[in-house]
Amino acid sequence: MRTPTRRVLVPTGSQGSACVAKSNAFAIANAIANASATDLAQRLGLGVLVIVAWLLFVPGDRERLRDSWREVATSARLAGPPADAERGTVRTVIDGDTLVLEDGRTVRLLGIDTPETVHPDLERPQPFGREAADRLESLVAGRPIRLERDISDNDHYGRTLRHVWRGRELVAELLVREGLGHAQSIPPDRRHADRLRAAENDARAARRGLWGADRPTSLPVFDDVPP
């Protein structure tokens, strides 16, 4: 006598994929719970594959994961300076990317280059140079700041190289996002290069500050500024 074959109906499309993935996930979870130490690693590896497949086939879960990644990125941006960042107070501002501390050190902000205002080869300040200097002064002059070291300690002019923070705000990022300078992360000092580049892209898209001018300076970075 032939044993009747049992047919199982499986939903199709993304719903079917979700059901299969969930079924496999539950099966693996149960197997892991009863696994011995010798094969646990192999089962975990298979579990990772199932989770990846689940995310590929279930849009809702994929969107939730993407939202979680955005939250992590936002938290990192709002985290502020590292705990070991040096404290200092600004005595004066020289230009849009250079300041002097109360202890006499001249600090060159990392991650940004602003139009010149006091360069010896210039007859007058470059466009938006004065605006950048004024904005930096409004942000930090006479105020306590935090100084985060990257890799290099000083440049060839003897200036102290630091990422400068005002509270939880990265000062260079504020200036770049407002279109008062462009992102400039010179190796090996590239700790915040990605967030500074994102700030520049935002300013470019909105044509803020110097990105709204035809060609603010002769720097190659402005060669592709639209008319």
Q: Which of 105, 159, 191, 204 is catalytic?
A: 159
Closest Cα to residue 115, out of 124, 106, 105, 126?
Answer: 126
* Better pLDDT: 46 or 186: 186
Q: What is the pLDDT of residues 89-109, one digit of tens each?
A: 999 999 999 999 999 999 999
pLDDT mean across residues, the chain: 78
Please indicate, yes or no, if residue 216 is contained in any of the structural domains.
yes
- The predicted pLDDT at position 102 comes to 97
CATH number for the domain that contains residue 100: 2.40.50.90
Least confident of 26-40, 52-66, 164-178, 211-225: 26-40
Q: Which residues pair with 93 in a beta bridge?
A: 99
For residues 164 and 208, membership in a common domain is answered with yes
Active-site annotation holds for 159: yes
For residues 51 and 93, membership in a common domain is answered with no
Active-site annotation holds for 116: yes
For residues 115 and 201, membership in a common domain is answered with yes
For residues 46 and 122, membership in a common domain is answered with no
Please indicate, yes or no, if residue 69 is contained in any of the structural domains.
no
Please indicate, yes or no, if residue 67 is contained in any of the structural domains.
no
pTM above threshold 0.85? no
Whether the predicted pLDDT of 79 surpasses 80: no
Q: What is the pLDDT of residues 20-48, one digit of tens each?
A: 544 554 554 455 455 554 554 455 565 55
Active-site annotation holds for 204: no
For residues 179 and 118, membership in a common domain is answered with yes
For residues 36 and 92, membership in a common domain is answered with no
Q: Please compute the mean of the pLDDT values over residues 120-141 and round it to a whole number.
A: 90
Whether the predicted pLDDT of 62 surpasses 90: no
For residues 45 and 107, membership in a common domain is answered with no
Please indicate, yes or no, if residue 4 is contained in any of the structural domains.
no
Range of the domain at 36: 11-57
- The predicted pLDDT at position 14 comes to 47
Number of domains in the chain: 2
The 8-class DSSP code of residue 158 comes to S
82: Cα separation from own chain's centroid: 15
| Rg over CA atoms, the chain | 27
Closest Cα to residue 185, out of 175, 176, 194?
Answer: 194
For residues 52 and 91, membership in a common domain is answered with no
Please indicate, yes or no, if residue 123 is contained in any of the structural domains.
yes
